[in-house]
Chains A and B, each alone.
Chain A
Amino acid sequence: MDLRLEGVSKTYPNGVRALADVTLTIPQGMFGLLGPNGAGKSTLMRSLATLQEVDAGTMRFGDIDIRADKPRLREVLGYLPQDFGVYPKVTAWDMLDHLAQLKGLSRRAERHEAVAALLHRTNLWEHARRRLGGFSGGMKQRFGIAQALLGNPRLLIVDEPTAGLDPAERFRFHNLLAEISEDVVVLLSTHIVSDVADLCQNMAVMGQGRVVLTGDPLRLLETLRGRTFKKFVSAAELEAVQGTHQVIAVRRVAGQRLVHVYAEARPPGFEEVEPDLEDVYFHALSPARA
């Protein structure tokens, strides 16, 4: 069972081209989707989650044609939207139980067992009987994760799942994902590069509706190894560097500007640096490349 996208395109009525000929194959395991805001990640994920129509292309999950047979896909889908709300007056237990019913977990005992287990696994068990209106952002996010995992989905689409989680929570979430992802397709969108670095066997980078890079993170790092160089610069120097070099990114480190550039050979005044996934990401998106 893998997820195959071919030539998927979508243009909004206002003319914004959200997806442009996206072709991707997403195998079982964790797949990270990186990209800046507005790159089309959420559009893609919503389309895969049957909430939006695309204009062209095919999307298949195993033998399910997603565009034509939404009900079948929904049976095997777990989805955590980027933004979501809750019924403030309903308890976590009741709401999760309700969603479990909607997902078709029909046997009461089994359903309650699943609800209880997920509340435990997302550390919400203590709060099961509390109204969701009183939940903090992190708790709400964990609740969202819990509902996405209901019903043992074969395809899990999680849009920015770690937003709002503190490091410990994030760590636990990663573990949870890692545990279930072995025979499941997990599509994870994020703009936190290290999420992908920590978790994903495969990744893609999107920019302006296109897939600009795809592959195995380790292998992608390989492509930059020996070609990434850094230098601390002043404001005036930066301008010069931008004119003469292929700049990957500019960061601030201890109050100074640190510029990473891509080059076939070490430019004078720069020193080689071990590339990280962020370099891969920025390099993929850098205008020079595009």
Chain B
Amino acid sequence: MVGALIGFELRRRLKLASTWVYAAVLFAAGFFLMLAAGGVFRGVAVTAGSERVMANAPVSLFGTTVLVALFGLFTVAAVFGQAAAQDFGQGTWMLIFSRNVRKGPYLLGRFLGAWLFSAALFTAIGAGQLAGTALVALIRPESLGPFSLVAYLWPYPLGVWPMLFFAGALFFTLAALTRHMAPVYVGVVVLVLGYTLTGTLLQDVQNLTLAALLDPFGFQAFSVVTRYWTPAEQNARLMPAWGLLGVNRLIWTAVGAGLLGACVAWFRTSVDESGGARAAAEPSSPGVPYPAAVPDPTTWTRARAALSLGALAFRDVIRSPIYWAFAVAGLVLVGMILASTKALYGTPTLPVTWQVLEGAAGAFRLFSLITVTFYAGELAWRERDAGVADIADATGAPAWVGFAGKLLALALVALSLEGLVALSALLAQLLRGYLDPEWSLYASELLFLDLGKLLLFGVLALVVQLAVNHKYLGHAAMVGYYVSAAALRGLGVEEPLLRYGSEPATPYSDMNGYGHLLGPVLWFRAYWWGVALVLLGLGYALMARGRETSLRARWREGQRRLTGPWLTAMAGGLLLAAGAGAVIFRDTHLVNRYVTEKTAQRERAEYETTYRTWADAPQPRITAAELTVDLFPEAQRLRARGTYTLANKTGQPVTDLFLNLPEDAELAVLRAGESRTVKEQDRRLGVIILHLDRPLAPGDSAPLEYDLQLAVRGMRHGPPRTEVVGNGSFFNNLSLPVVGYQADRELEEDRDRKDYGLKPKERMAPRDDPRELQHNYIRADSDFVRFAATVSTTPDQIAVAPGDLEREWTEGGRRHFRYVMDQPILNFFSVLSARYAVLRDEWRGVKLEIYHHPSHTRNLGRMMQGMKDALAYCSDHFGPYQHRQARILEFPRYQTFAQSFPNTIPYSEAIGFIARVRDEEPDDLDYPYYVTAHEIAHQWWAHQVVGANVRGATMTSESMAQYAALMVMKARYGPERMRRFLKFELDKYLVGRVLERKKELPLAQNENQPYVHYQKGSLAMYALQDFIGEERVNHALARYLARVRFQGPPYTTAAELVAALREETPPAQRHLLEDLFETITLWDNRVTAATMKAVPGGGWEVTVKVLARKYRSDDQGHQTDLDFDEPLDVGGLDEKGAVVCLEKRRVKRGESEVTFGCPVRPAKAGVDPVNKLIDRDSEDNVTAPTVIR
């Protein structure tokens, strides 16, 4: 019987058109994703992703196949559901169960039929990938690695088929037990969205294994297993069938089997007819007269009817379990996300209103869209689905009553969803003790921004339903629309006027509110609501009434419906859309330049091809900067007038000055000495070449005067300008003239360069490149400069630039500040202005100031302490602090970083200021303190020591700042807390090297690669000070710093820094310098067994069997094994993971046995137990020892 059922199911499915449609869709998905991965669309759009991983790498194939299959579940949900429910849906159950059918084989046969069918169907993805590969091989063979058929098939037994088994079992069981399809659809939505959101668990490195096992689809397990795979491994290795992925597959297959078991156990082969109401004796009541009321409608009462229609329909919606399934699933996931959102290093932020609302609304958005789209269909079909249409359509109510009722009900559904978001956000705030929610933000974020947008999509979905007049085709059309809208962007169509409902982002800032970012959104809303009005008119006209439902009949009838008011409204909508659209178009295309990602890329190439020759032209250096900056926050405008002193430090005369300026800077004056002849000006690329009437002779100096304005001029495509805003302007001097050809504007990736006919290039010059040694890596056109600035702003704001505040005065209703630097600084400065409150303190005569938003006071103490501790540590160990003041300045969350300018640290409101560090929580990391310490350390490592523009430069700044911050943190919080921090650093480094787009380089050779200079920098420096001692490291750094402090050309390099470290490193440890700084070295240390026995007189003797390995990796991740015999940590940990004993013992390559003593009984013991070395599997370093007697 099982076989017969399977055969029946397969034969039936083969004959269905939908089968072939599904297969075509899956095939297309595989095909196009392969083309995209192979870079076939690069002609029109910017391709994401590393060029080092081949399009047909086994890991890529596995990932894509499983991901497509995941979304393919939407198609097979129906297959499994119908296999279980169709006998009930079609009433054939009586025929089947009146025979003597056993339910076990019946259900199993039905299920297996559906599963085998789906398993076969999904091979279409692989077929699509194969076809895509063939095409890629013709067009871009360089993006393919060696072909291996196994790599295309491997995802099925390990990924797709078990996934289908579990998900299928779930859908099948839902349908079999409820006998309806609706729970299945809800199930698939919840499952797929739930999966995509469980990715948030991965934010904390401690949850990786948990996430890998919890994900029913195995995709997270796949991600976790391959998390640290280098490109070389990704290109070559198949997914291992054992390990996390295998365990995950077993667990969920077992769960699937359990579900099927439950299904068989609880399945009933009978059907309870719903008991009709049968009143015993129904007294006739002829006494009541037949009512005489006759219709007497007015427009007003018709409107009331529409209202009550909407209310009635909405009541039905919120009574339906489907709505609550969506809502509850959404809420649970929103709750999970809000609870697990961690800003930095697994430490939460305060649940401030804007953040909680953005989190909740963002997480709920997909649910909202799906729910609204779904109910647009339900409401469009409400009367017809219930069989009430004939009655309702024959009543005297005009068509608009029904139309308005549906629209109203849909709006109420949308509103109720926003209510749920509000509720979950509020709960998230209250449960975490945040008792001061900003209600006005609730209203603006949810009721205006979110609801307004959701309604736009609701209107679209409803109109599509009414126009298509077929519920499932309507849904399919909407899904098609959402997919194509996403695909359009991928194909480089960025024009927002063409993508329904699109609008610029409106991040809310405590400091600046919505600021000038709200205006553009209002224009876009006007435009889209104009469009929506026209759509509504069309939907109204095409709404079916009665039985004549052909498009022609509906349109004939619809023309009659479009009476004066409707046509007026539609015309109004058209006008609104045309007007607002014209304004937007003018702003984004004519007033501002319309620059797509692709245009920007092309222009970088043009910059290089046009001006490359200038790279060799002699250009002067900036030696002094004097400027006046007038900020007009209310107009988002600034005027900068200033003089750079240019000195010709080359041996040749300078005849032309090559200057870079922002393309939208309005230049009033540009003069070098007396020369104002513009030889060439390229507004698009932001280049001006000024001819010097009298060449600047070697050794001579001349002033470069400029007077320019930067302003927000209406709306612009792409990210908005946020330098000057209502409150919280933050502007740096990269927007002022920059001298000389800028090599960092060139395209970086070789495959991009190839597209524009450019030769491959290195990101940075080698460490001994004589030319680049003449430049520092921060500003090639300047050495250390003298600096003074006058800044002015509105009277209620404080404007700050680096230097001593020499004078403050009010003039012409504006507040002026004069800042003067008493010694040369890097030509890298910022101007900030806001309505600040200021916290002041002092440390050894240095004035400390924190300029902050008045309400952001929570972490000021931590930041102030960070300043003091870092100043003290760096002064005591490296050398004196060069300034008389240190300032932290808060700026709005348009950017999320802190940055160190001379004595000035702009610090985003979104990081330290709203951090929620709980002292009682050992896992929380005091990152306001840590970030502050890092930035203060930059005053030494960047502003005193600045590296040449060659490889390894950032090791002398970023890695040293990391090191100083780590030491400051270690002193305050102890080494135990550092372990958690370093665990994050290790993960970020290992992930960073996988995401590397070009090539990984050793720390002392790194090409400004953040995962190397921050994360690996932390790990390497921490390990070094652990192995050779903090004192030695600091001594080396102090000597190095004394040698190169404020050193101009030739600038220092990481080679010098490593040499200084080498001088202090005992010979036995010198291999570390090689391993940590000069090569990419990874350890794979593991303990294979551990025993311990009590020592008479106290303590334990622990013996661990160690398997030690050390690898060296090339820049693509090819590894070679190293032989070694060197000291490593061995030791034990207690239950909480705290160190109970630790010592350095020599360990050699391969297996060995080490015995060491421990004063207390360790819960775990092993090698490198606290992960000081870079080890891709840091879990297997320790194990629980067994006790022997």
A-to-B contact residues, CB < 8 Å: 13, 46, 49-53, 71, 74-75, 77, 79-81, 83-90, 94, 98-99, 101-107, 110-111, 113-114, 116-118, 120-121, 123, 125-127, 130, 133-137, 139, 144, 147, 149, 151-152, 172, 175-176, 179-180
Closest to B319 in A: A89
Whether the Cβ atoms of B547 and A52 lie closer than 8 Å is: yes
Whether the Cβ atoms of B312 and A104 lie closer than 8 Å is: no
Closest Cβ of chain A to B385, distance in Å, is 8
Whether the Cβ atoms of A71 and B288 lie closer than 8 Å is: no
Q: Which residues of A contact B319 (CB under 8 A)?
A: 89
Whether the Cβ atoms of B309 and A102 lie closer than 8 Å is: yes
Among the stretches B393-401, B432-440, B575-583, B1056-1064, the one at the interface with A is B393-401
Q: Which residues of A contact B553 (CB under 8 A)?
A: 53
Q: Which residues of A contact B545 (CB under 8 A)?
A: 51
Closest to B277 in A: A134
Among the stretches B16-24, B254-262, B279-287, B807-815, the one at the interface with A is B279-287
CA distance A13 to B296 in the complex (A): 38
Q: Which residues of A contact B387 (CB under 8 A)?
A: 83-86
Interface of B, helix, strand, loop or mixed by DSSP: loop
Closest Cβ of chain A to B240, distance in Å, is 53
Q: Which residues of A contact B294 (CB under 8 A)?
A: 105, 151-152
Number of A-B contacts (CB under 8 A): 161
Task: Indicate if B15 sits at the interface (CB-CB under 8 A).
Answer: no
Q: Which residues of A contact B550 (CB under 8 A)?
A: 13
Whether the Cβ atoms of B289 and A90 lie closer than 8 Å is: no
Whether the Cβ atoms of B276 and A74 lie closer than 8 Å is: no
CA distance A81 to B383 in the complex (A): 14
Q: Which residues of B contact A99 (CB under 8 A)?
A: 391-392, 395
Closest to A132 in B: B386
- Fill in one digit per residue for B314-325: 1 if any A CB lies within 8 Å of its CB, else 0: 011001000000
CA distance A149 to B547 in the complex (A): 22
Q: Which of B551-608 contact A (CB under 8 A)?
A: 553
Closest to B311 in A: A98
Q: Which residues of B contact A84 (CB under 8 A)?
A: 387-388, 390-391
Task: Indicate if B548 sits at the interface (CB-CB under 8 A).
Answer: yes
Closest Cβ of chain A to B242, distance in Å, is 52
Task: Indicate if B274 sits at the interface (CB-CB under 8 A).
Answer: yes
CA distance A64 to B319 in the complex (A): 42
Q: A99-B395, A103-B395, A135-B277 are in contact. Are A151 and B309 (CB under 8 A)?
A: no
CB pairs A–B below 8 angstroms (10 shown): A51-B545, A77-B395, A101-B397, A104-B396, A104-B397, A123-B282, A125-B285, A135-B277, A149-B290, A152-B292
Task: Indicate if B301 sits at the interface (CB-CB under 8 A).
Answer: yes
A53, A75, A86, A118: the one contacting B548 at CB < 8 Å is A53
CA distance A104 to B302 in the complex (A): 7
Q: Which residues of A contact B305 (CB under 8 A)?
A: 101-102, 104, 106
Closest Cβ of chain B to A13, distance in Å, is 8
CA distance A113 to B288 in the complex (A): 10
Most chain-A CB neighbours within 10 Å: which of B296, B302, B545? B296
Whether the Cβ atoms of A74 and B394 lie closer than 8 Å is: yes
Whether the Cβ atoms of B282 and A126 lie closer than 8 Å is: yes
Q: Which residues of B contact A102 (CB under 8 A)?
A: 305, 309, 392, 395-397, 401
- Fill in one digit per residue for B517-561: 1 if any A CB lies within 8 Å of its CB, else 0: 000000000000000000000000000011110100100000000
A79, A105, A139: the one contacting B295 at CB < 8 Å is A105
A49, A111, A134, A147: the one contacting B293 at CB < 8 Å is A111
CA distance A206 to B1023 in the complex (A): 99
Whether the Cβ atoms of B396 and A117 lie closer than 8 Å is: no
Closest Cβ of chain A to B47, distance in Å, is 50
- Known: A85-B388, A175-B286; 5 extra A-B contacts, CB below 8 A, are A81-B391, A102-B392, A116-B288, A121-B290, A147-B391
Q: Which residues of B contact A133 (CB under 8 A)?
A: 274
Q: A101-B304, A104-B296 are in contact. Are A71 and B278 (CB under 8 A)?
A: no
CA distance A85 to B275 in the complex (A): 17
Q: Which residues of A contact B283 (CB under 8 A)?
A: 123
Whether the Cβ atoms of B393 and A51 lie closer than 8 Å is: yes
Closest Cβ of chain B to A49, distance in Å, is 5
Q: Which residues of A contact B396 (CB under 8 A)?
A: 71, 74-75, 77, 102-104, 151
Task: Indicate if B1096 sits at the interface (CB-CB under 8 A).
Answer: no
- Fill in one digit per residue for B779-803: 1 if any A CB lies within 8 Å of its CB, else 0: 0000000000000000000000000
A13, A113, A117, A134: the one contacting B276 at CB < 8 Å is A134
B277, B309, B390, B401: the one contacting A136 at CB < 8 Å is B277
Most chain-B CB neighbours within 10 Å: which of A50, A133, A135? A50
Q: Which residues of A contact B296 (CB under 8 A)?
A: 104-107
CA distance A181 to B411 in the complex (A): 43
Q: Which residues of A contact B290 (CB under 8 A)?
A: 117, 121, 149, 176, 179-180
Q: A86-B387, A103-B395 are in contact. Are A50 and B546 (CB under 8 A)?
A: yes
Whether the Cβ atoms of A51 and B289 lie closer than 8 Å is: no
Q: Which residues of B contact A179 (CB under 8 A)?
A: 290
CA distance A104 to B397 in the complex (A): 7
Closest Cβ of chain A to B1019, distance in Å, is 62
CA distance A176 to B397 in the complex (A): 26
Q: Which residues of B contact A139 (CB under 8 A)?
A: 276-277
Q: Which residues of B contact A152 (CB under 8 A)?
A: 291-294
CA distance A175 to B290 in the complex (A): 12
CA distance A121 to B287 in the complex (A): 8
CA distance A114 to B550 in the complex (A): 37
Closest Cβ of chain B to A10, distance in Å, is 11
Most chain-B CB neighbours within 10 Å: which of A87, A110, A114? A87
CA distance A51 to B277 in the complex (A): 32
Most chain-A CB neighbours within 10 Å: which of B279, B285, B305, B394? B394
Closest to B320 in A: A89
Q: Which residues of B contact A85 (CB under 8 A)?
A: 386-388
